[in-house]
Amino acid sequence: MCALPLPTAFAPAEKSSRDEIIAQAKVFENHLLTRHVLDHVPQAVMILNGNRQIVLANAALLSMLGQSLDDLLGQRPGEALGCVHAGETLGGCGTTESCRHCGAVLSILAAQKGEATMGECTLRRGCDSPESQDVQDMDLRVFASPMEVDGQRFTIFTAHDIGHERRRRALERIFFHDILNTTGGLSGFAQLLCDSEQGHLAEHAKVVRDITSKLIDEITAQKDLLAAESAELRVYPALCGSKEFLQKIIQEHENHPAARGRTIKLDPGCEKVSLVTDAGLLRRVIGNMLKNALEASQPGETISAGCLHENGKLTFWVHNPQVIPHDDQLKIFSRSFSTKGPHRGLGTYGIRLLTTRYLQGEVGFSSTPEEGTRFFVTLPQMLK
């Protein structure tokens, strides 16, 4: 008489027998290189059979859990890691209603279909009941990929703790929200003072308003950069004109502190072309190019900007008369490099990130003693 299959609310509940697990584990006994490589991976790695059960675990996982490989054989990832939902059903990890939204289970099931997959999950561990308050949340980034050894199919599964990343991002969101609210309130108050009939008070208030406006712009720029790095930045394509767009950005930067004693001009050959792009992000990109040019130039020098249209693409460029030292040229667009010195600014890195990842464009520069320095971004006329 056949045993009834175990009930499940999501993934298959069937498990391999202890003898089957041991036989599958022995497959890897002769693959010393595989075991050696896995044991030198700093993240927790486990190899799963077709029923999502552990047949091999690396040294990092064993150390993290304080258990031996024999203790883990036959367990599923959630059971080994102590997920509170793993004990809710006889089928164990992957078979509860909660498992439908678990990035770990979803990644493993996708790998069993031949697809290497990455996901995230928040695993509640540390007790036997999800209702208990004595729990610890683990934020994990998981990777699952199919592998074949001696004609048998397995899944290699990796879990990496990203709790610090999520906490940092949450704190950043709170910080930017609070500080933008504060500076926004200060800006509004400064505007009220600007409207005052007391002339001397209004003049001081205008200075406060302008400084606050620049502060808000810088905070927003950093907020956008962090969102861009986390792939959380949204793109809003809209129609704009190249020449008018550049003219407006130049006007915005003519009173920038770095522009003191310098001239910014629009190149006479600047082409007037319509394009569909994210104007806010493009403004940030060209604004960074202008600020970098102003900071690199000397008093009395001229910075120029222009736009060329060719083969359905537009190239925006900014030029200054100075030359970038050769060693610095090798590091341009690197996140760790700043023209402003150590631990300062992300200008060129931000230009590359926003242009290539979000505006579907390309970036570049040329810098020689004879011709000075020209940064440029080339964009499609129609952002898709």
Q: Is 49 helix (H, G, I), strand (E, B) or coil?
A: coil
Torsion angle, alpha carbons of 90, 92, 97, 98, to 10: 150
Extract the tokens encoding 171: 């704190």
Confidence of residue 136 (pLDDT cuts 50, 70, 90): confident
Over residues 73-77, mean pLDDT: 98
Tell me the whole-structure pTM to 2 decimals: 0.56
How far is Cα 262 from Cα 255, in angstroms, rounded to an integer?
10
For residue 51, is pLDDT > 80?
A: yes
Give how far the C-alpha of residue 45 lies from the chain's centroid of Cα atoms, to the nearest Å. 24
Tokens of 356: 């290539």
Least confident of 9-13, 148-152, 305-309, 344-348: 344-348
Angstrom distance (rounded) from CA 344 to CA 362:
24
Q: How confident is the model at residue 143 (pLDDT cuts 50, 70, 90)?
A: very high
**C-alpha triplet 344, 287, 281: angle, nearest 5°:** 100
Q: What is the percent of the chain with per-residue pLDDT over 90, rounded to a whole number?
A: 61
Whether residue 158 has pLDDT greater than 50 = yes
Model confidence at 349, pLDDT cuts 50, 70, 90, reads: confident
pLDDT tens, residue by residue, 255-267: 887 899 999 999 9
Element (H, E) at 57: strand 54-57
* Residues 6+ away with beta carbon under 8 Å from 265: 250, 302, 303, 304, 305
Res 221: pLDDT? 75
Residue 278 identity? D
Query: Would you state the pLDDT for residue 345?
Result: 41
CA distances from 305 to 70, 209, 286, 294, 347 (A): 67, 28, 9, 12, 17
pLDDT, residue 344, reads 38
User: Which of 75-89, 209-223, 323-337 is least confident?
Assistant: 209-223
Structure-model confidence comparison of residues 146 and 32, the more confident one: 146
d(CA 37, CA 362): 38
Question: Do 156 and 55 meet the contact criterion of CB atoms below 8 Å apart?
Answer: no
Question: 145 to each of 49, 142, 149, 329, how far by Cα in Å?
Answer: 12, 10, 13, 39
| Residue 55 and residue 70 in contact, taking contact as beta carbons nearer than 8 Å | no
Give me the phi and psi of 351, to 5 degrees please: -60, -50
CA angle 118, 230, 108 (to 5 degrees): 10
Q: What is the pLDDT of residue 191?
A: 73
- Assign 378 to helix, strand or coil: strand
Cα gap 106→160, rounded to integer Å: 16
Distance of CA 188 to the CA centre of its chain: 33
Q: Which residue has the higher pLDDT, 89 or 208?
A: 89
Question: DSSP alpha helices (H): ranges in 135-271?
Answer: 163-194, 199-229, 242-253
Please write the tens of the pLDDT for every residue from 168-222.
666 566 666 667 666 766 676 667 667 765 666 667 677 677 667 777 777 777 7
pLDDT at 202: 67
Tokens of 252: 């915005």
Q: Specify the pLDDT at position 163.
A: 80
Can you give the length of the chain in residues? 384
Position 44 pLDDT exceeds 80: yes
Give the count of alpha carbons within 13 A of 22, CB side only. 5
pLDDT of residue 335: 67
Share of the chain above pLDDT 70, in %: 82
Report the mean per-residue pLDDT for the chain.
86
User: Distance from first CA to last CA of the chain, Å, rounded?
Assistant: 61
Structure-derived torsion over alpha carbons of residues 206, 209, 215, 220, reported in degrees to the nearest 10: -130
Mean pLDDT of 108-114: 97
pLDDT level of residue 227 (50, 70, 90 thresholds) = confident
**CB-based contact 160:140 (threshold 8 Å):** yes
Tokens 């990343």 label which residue?
165
User: Comparing 365 with 231, which gets the higher pLDDT?
Assistant: 365
Q: Which of 29-33, 136-140, 285-289, 350-354 has the lowest mean pLDDT?
A: 136-140
Distance CA(339)–CA(230), nearest Å, equals 24
Distance CA 375, CA 219 (A): 24
CA 94 – CA 51 distance, rounded (Å): 10
How many CB atoms sit inside 10 A of residue 181's CB?
10
| Structural tokens at position 84 | 């509170």
